[in-house]
Amino acid sequence: MRDTDKTPSEFAQRVEREARRRGFDRAQSRLVGMLGDGAPWVWNLADEHFPGAIRIVDRSHAKQKLSDVAKSIYGPNNGQGKEWGQQRHAELDAGDIERVLNALRIHMPQDDQARKCFAYTQRNRQRMRYAEFRAEGLCTSSGVVEAGCKVAIGTRCKRAGMHWTVAGADAIIALRCCKLSSRFDNFWKRRSTAKVAPT
């Protein structure tokens, strides 16, 4: 599995292993969604290893981009900007990407954020069919995953006064993930049965 590298990164290898463990390679008759923030490397990874997966731009990321445009156009804490953003969010939720694009198009001549968001939305429009995805029972937001990261990592590694080396943090995170995914006992069984090389 590759992301942007010629050889698979450690991250890409972990994603592939976990997907196989969860049966994604055997999920031909089920709908499988793959969430991403819209970065090309995410879709490259999906194309290479999950060709049947339905690609979905994380709705929270898309909404954040629209909120950033509203602030850029109207300024922060502006009621009109907030209203503009909420309207775009509702259109996005309804799958009305054409209206979102039209609203952005109006502001493109004078606003760089609007131009960037227009290009992002246009490039990812097929991955933003949120009403359709929800009707198929697919998740459209990575909020659950991000909350899981806070539980797995934040509550253990980001306490007051903590300082970690990369190796130390990686080790604790790996153990924490084993514990939270009910694989802690298996981890210790594998570790205890591993042969120790003679010294």
pLDDT at 60 over 90: yes
pLDDT at 118 over 80: yes
56 vs 61: CA distance, rounded Å: 11
Q: Which two tokens stand for residue 196?
A: 């120790």
Tell whether pTM > 0.85.
no
Percent of the chain clearing pLDDT 90 (strictly above): 41
User: Please, which pLDDT band fits residue 82 given cuts at 50, 70 and 90?
Assistant: very high
Question: Per 3-state DSSP, what percentage of the chain is helix, strand, and coil (rounded to 5)?
Answer: 65, 5, 30
pLDDT of 48 reads 80
Q: Are strands 54-57 and 33-36 parallel, antiparallel or unpaired?
A: parallel
171 vs 187: CA distance, rounded Å: 13
**CA proximity to 59, closest of 82, 88, 80:** 88
pLDDT at 180 over 60: yes
pLDDT at 8 over 80: no
